[in-house]
Amino acid sequence: MTRPLVVGNWKMHGLSAQLADIEALGVSMTDRPAKADVLICPPFTLIERAARIAGSFVAIGAQNCHHETSGTWTGEISARMLKDSGASAVIVGHSERRQHQGESSERVAAKANAAVAAGLLAIICIGETQAERAGGGALDACAAQLSLSVPKGIAASAFAIGYEPLWAIGSGQVPTAAQITEMHGHIRQCLVARLGASGNAVRIVYGGSVKPANARSILALSDVGGVLVGGASLKPDEFEAIVRAAAP
């Protein structure tokens, strides 16, 4: 079994004082064998300092990157810059960027390509809206996003999929176990159809109102290879409890 991936997405939160939370998590993970891959994605301003203090069992990632390696892109950050700052992964295609920045799946694929070229793990996010779920089109919507967002020729080891139903993010709502299992199984089928047997090695992480109270049950579901944590990742005790649920 591939080790579960636990990702903390801090979004637009975090100042220098919160670096102590990352350092403390790194220390707490040293008292036992690492059974999960733990990744924290703070804002750009903290990446370099976080990478220096995180320790051996906590990796640092980013929440976005540009699809070009360099150029006249004021305010943007390239994947190579992230790698140079100490990041080992980057989230691309998060639903908030698709919704508020109008990012297309084709642009997400370009960013994923740039991330892989820079030596970063690309965490490619997909997910359906409430209307798509209610209308019975959730599986088709996610399959379409997956088809366009995963770059052609990418190696299975170079990326993970983040499934985040938009209606569950920050809402407190969580899909049923049956809904998560169905969607993750469908994503797995799409990956295998695309990549062959190596598609079985791609981790599919679930994101959407993940908390200590539900993390263990979600992680136990078929084809769930980790969790993408939003609000709870900003609360050190809650995030550590989720990490320990992934690595009992």
Active site residue 164: yes
Catalytic annotation, pick one of 66, 94, 184, 186: 94
**What is the SS3 assignment for the chain?**
CCCCEEEEECCCCCCHHHHHHHHHHHHHHHHCCCCCEEEEECCHHHHHHHHHHCCCCEEEEECCCECCCCCCCCCCCEHHHHHHHCCCEEEECCHHHHHHCCCCHHHHHHHHHHHHHCCCEEEEEECCCHHHHHCCCHHHHHHHHHHHHCCCCCCHHHEEEEECCHHHCCCCCCCCHHHHHHHHHHHHHHHHHHHHHHHHHCCEEEECCCCHHHHHHHHCCCCCCEEEECHHHHCHHHHHHHHHHHCC
Catalytic annotation, pick one of 103, 128, 132, 164: 164
Active site residue 94: yes
Q: Which residues are part of the catalytic machinery?
A: 94, 164
